[in-house]
Structure 1
């Protein structure tokens, strides 16, 4: 697979790599405002820097995992405080930006691969699972909970978050690809949809940990966001099932006519 630029002369500078990355972005359809205007641009900067340093996409994925899991480990092991809140947020946000960088670096270098995509998604799934497990540990070890029912919130949140991640990936893999690229220009991404998706953007989850210094504020904010994730999971599940059912019916009808 060819890269997005020649990678020689001035194009191999940091600014040249950044310009080439800006010209080769994935579609913004189905992407929240945070990912579109904050995380992806930050990822471009890291991807350009990694390209200049001669790093590989898998090395960037490994760095993203190391930073993210350092923050998750701190969350699980240390008592909540405002400095910890800032540290966990910074580690998760940096890990998220690096997660956006590895795929962009792969496209820049022309090194996209199934193995690299698998590694990226496996790290993402592990990160989501570990993060809510760390919150459960914090609830049990460090919070004066008003009732044991609060210990059910992290597993429910974890289930909804993992299923949204997994369901979205699986739906994208199972959807039939168009036989030929569309001739008409694609409609611009919906800003309303981008705003509506903010509650289930990982950047919003990262921001939640800025409340970690106040037990009650964090606990209530976490429970509220957990409820939002459950609602989104239910809505997404219905949407994805209907889309795949319609695609299957269309395939069957097409096969019957041929």
Structure 2
């Protein structure tokens, strides 16, 4: 227990900047991930092993969404698997910092798993819409385009954000972290993965899930346009 307490104390001073992070990730996912990272450290796990644990929870939930019969109980289990997987996704990076820093291979594995999870989750919803049109009210083929559009927006946002961070110049050593904006943190909630996971609590609600999922998909598309504009302007100002 002492090891966990020591790890938690060290992690509190080794957090990434909260700039551009939604309220859910900032006040729910990162703190939960901190406890998981401390427990993983005490158990002697490596960051890559924690990434694999995250993938196991996430893809079990994806399989349930694609192959299971929609119900309130299944929706709760899907949300739980995705939420735990997301928390472990935060824990692997925190554990890496606690152990003195990550590795290129570890960062690669983390991003590949994240990309696969995002892609597979929307494929699972597409399969569910196709298999259970009576439950979700998706008998019209046009509804099958919603998961495809949502997937496109989510993947481009994920890739664009990563690439922007790689191309932007790093701040000089000792530069203080920017003060996070509470208003921005609230505004980013519709595109936070943790908030997206919550929509599966409506999985047994038929059309309620379809409309909630579609609303988040529309928000994702609008945010993508805003992000692309912002990132392009930022990179246009970079001089090499």
TM-score by length of 1: 0.89
Q: 2:61 aligns with which of 45, 62, 71?
A: 71
How many angstroms does 1:111 deviate by? 4.0
Aligned residue for 1:104?
A: 94
Q: Report if aligned partners of 2:17, 2:177 keep a CA contact under 8 Å in 1.
A: no
Q: 1:72 & 1:178 partners in 2: Cα distance?
A: 38
Structure 2 alignment gaps of length 5 or more: none
Superposed CA deviations along residues 109-155 of structure 1, whole A, max 9, x for unmatched, are: 11411110010000000000000000000000012224110000001
Aligned residue for 2:107?
A: 117
Aligned residue for 1:172?
A: 165
Aligned residue for 1:239?
A: 230
Structure 1 alignment gaps of length 5 or more: 1-9, 252-258
| 2:32 aligned with 1:42 | yes
Superposition CA RMSD, Å = 1.3
Q: 2:217 aligns with which of 210, 213, 226?
A: 226
Q: 1:133 & 1:147 partners in 2: Cα distance?
A: 18
The SS at the match of 1:204 is helix
Q: 2:47 aligns with which of 35, 57, 60?
A: 57
Aligned residue for 1:192?
A: 183
Compared CA separation, residues 87 and 188, structure 1 to 2 (3 A): same
Q: Report if aligned partners of 1:143, 1:215 keep a CA contact under 8 Å in 2.
A: no
How many angstroms does 1:177 deviate by? 1.9
Q: Could you say which structure has the larger radius of gyration? A: 1
Q: Report if aligned partners of 2:25, 2:192 keep a CA contact under 8 Å in 1.
A: yes
